[in-house]
Amino acid sequence: MKIRFLVTWILVVLLLMPQQAQALEVSATAAILMDAETGQVYYQKNPDRRMLIASTTKIMTALVVLDTARLDEVVTVKPTHMVEGSSMYLKPGEELTVETLLYGLLLCSGNDAALALADYCADGVEHFVALMNEKAHELGMAGSSFANPNGLDAETHYSTARDMAILAACASQNETFVRLCSTRSVTIGGRTMTNHNKLLGYLEGCIGMKTGYTRAAGRTLVSCTRRDGRSLVAVTLQDGNDWLDHEAMYEYGFSLPAFGAEGSFPAEGQILLPDITDRLRSYLALRERGEVS
């Protein structure tokens, strides 16, 4: 009873004091930093705002392809696969393996590769998009809708930072996907493909994931980093300072204890809030439910 009174008194005092800024701020309109294995959220900013996601869409595209085709299957490129935007510069009539096209999808961000894969894997792009939305539903991505496999802007094509973190966490468990997206450069059949993700070059433990950009969406970035047996995913949407923001998010996240680790502060659900007032509120809520003593 005395402990509860003391905590309540501290909470009241803190509520009357000017609040300090959170320990981390990013330039993104929406962002999230999440543990890929436990779902613990270390930082969030507008995590459920529906936004354009540009080529980070291709994470979902790649996962659906890996669900439906073998890497050694051969795809014939069609004229209908030629499309605007980023490209791996396919030519109609070319025959390439699914694996080569996945490299073009994830490293070069090829919109042409996305259409070629989607058309092949589902007997048509429309059917493939249905599979994308089906997988989103299975993963619990309630704020997402996919209209194409490449991420070009469309009214019915959007997601949230939280949903993209869920998708990234799923992708980080697929070692074939990780091998592909973490490749910095590869040459296949005379075609050299270089990864657009700069974090691979200097951020300790980064395994890549996917970059994105359209004029309407701005810069979008989904990444994953592994250190000391932990795996964190970071998402920023509409962020002109995304490289530095991801680096800062990881340095912040890895400096905090994992959820449930000795010395970690109890938090509501699995969200670790850096502001002490929010921590106290969460602690009182847990005590009220009898979940902590």
Catalytic residue numbers, as ranges: 55, 58, 109
Beta strand pairing call for 230-237 and 218-227: antiparallel
CA separation for the pair 238, 231 (Å, rounded) = 24
Q: Which amino acid is at 97?
A: T
CA separation for the pair 291, 293 (Å, rounded) = 7
DSSP string, 171-225: HHT-HHHHHHHT-SEEEETTEEEE---THHHHSTTEEEEEEEEETTTEEEEEEEE
95: nearest Cα among 170, 175, 191: 191
118: nearest Cα among 61, 156, 79, 73: 61
CA 116 to chain centre: 23
Torsion region of 93: left, alpha or beta (phi above 0 gives left; psi -120 to 50 gives alpha): left
Determine contact, residues 258/34, Cβ cutoff 8 Å.
Answer: no
CA separation for the pair 275, 264 (Å, rounded) = 14
Count CB atoms within 10 A of the CB of residue 236.
30
Under DSSP, the state recorded for 263 is: T
Q: For residue 266, give the 3-state DSSP assignment.
A: coil
CA separation for the pair 124, 185 (Å, rounded) = 30
Structure tokens at 202: 């200097």
Angle between the 58-68 and 125-139 helix axes, to the nearest 10 degrees? Answer: 100
